Structure 1
Amino acid sequence: MGWLKRLFGLEKPNNPQQAVQGTPAEAPNVASSTATESIPPERVGLNGEYDQSGLAKRVALAFDQDPQLDDINTLYVAQTGGTVVLKGKVPSQEILNKMISVARQVNGATAVETNQVTIG
């Protein structure tokens, strides 16, 4: 089971790359461009809509897209504003470093908090 399904009960969107970047999935038009510009980057959902947990969902999707991270089921992703919050357990510091790197690349992520993560 992937990150997005395990944490949020959602299937991967049709265009996952746009979802991770936080851009609308459909071709831009005046209405969607205006609507997207008014949504803070950390609140953009998987399909370009407003979503209170948009950043966390897009980070989960980015983890799903990385084969090194797709089978870790002891870690959870949350958000506080633009901060990605990782909670739980990871097998190694290298995996945690990779997760931090991937999370930082998601549009809207301003920081990654890992003080609730244990290694082992």
Structure 2
Amino acid sequence: MGWLKRLFGLEKLENQENIQAPAYQAPVAQSQSQAQSQPAATTQTIPPERMGLNGEYDQSGLAKRVAQAFDSNPEVADIETVYVAQQGSTVVLKGSVPSQEIVNKLVSIAKNVKGATGVETNQVTVG
């Protein structure tokens, strides 16, 4: 059973091996004449850590994208003793693994997911 299925009850998305949060695109400034002729539009951007698997707002978006990245890596795809959570933009790993090398691999993968500013492993036991 994959990470997404085990942790969130979701199937891996077809044709989307490793979804990353879309790059932030700043709103374009309007000239004064454009601003006067058009109604004010509210622009809301989703923080990278809240970006879901399909670009939607998701409170657990970062954790889901990390789980998807783990599913995409054959070295860690079959691990079923670690759980992924998030606290803001920090990925939190919990559980147990047989070796420090696996912890290091999980941290390396998680750090490369857009929106992750850190990875906490103090709740992971090795052995």
- Where on the TM-score scale, by shorter chain, does this alignment land: which range? 0.7 to 0.9
Q: Retained in 1: the 8 A contact 2:46–2:57?
A: yes
Which residue among 92, 106, 113 is the counterpart of 1:106? 113
Per-residue displacement from partner, 1:57-95 (whole Å, max 9, x unpaired)?
A: 000000000000011100000000000000000110001
Q: Retained in 2: the 8 A contact 1:53–1:78?
A: yes
Which structure has more helix as a fraction of its residues?
1
Aligned-partner SS, 1:38: coil
Paired with 1:59 and 1:39, the residues of 2 have a C-alpha distance of 17
The percentage of counterpart residues that share the same residue type is 70
Q: Retained in 1: the 8 A contact 2:66–2:113?
A: yes
Aligned-partner SS, 1:23: coil
Paired with 1:61 and 1:37, the residues of 2 have a C-alpha distance of 25
Counterpart of 2:22, as a letter, is T
Length-normalised TM-score, structure 2 = 0.80
The aligned counterpart of 2:3 is: 3
Length-normalised TM-score, structure 1 = 0.85
> Per-residue deviation at 1:16?
2.4
Is 1:91–2:92 an aligned residue pair? no
Q: Retained in 2: the 8 A contact 1:91–1:119?
A: yes
The aligned counterpart of 1:28 is: none
> Per-residue deviation at 1:119?
0.3
RMSD after superposition: 2.2
Counterpart of 2:73, as a letter, is D
Unpaired segments ≥5 residues, structure 2: 24-42
Is 1:49–2:65 an aligned residue pair? no
Counterpart of 2:126, as a letter, is I
Unpaired segments ≥5 residues, structure 1: 25-35
Tell me the matched-pair count. Answer: 110
Paired with 1:70 and 1:84, the residues of 2 have a C-alpha distance of 17
Considering only CA atoms, is the larger Rg found in Structure 1 or Structure 2? 2
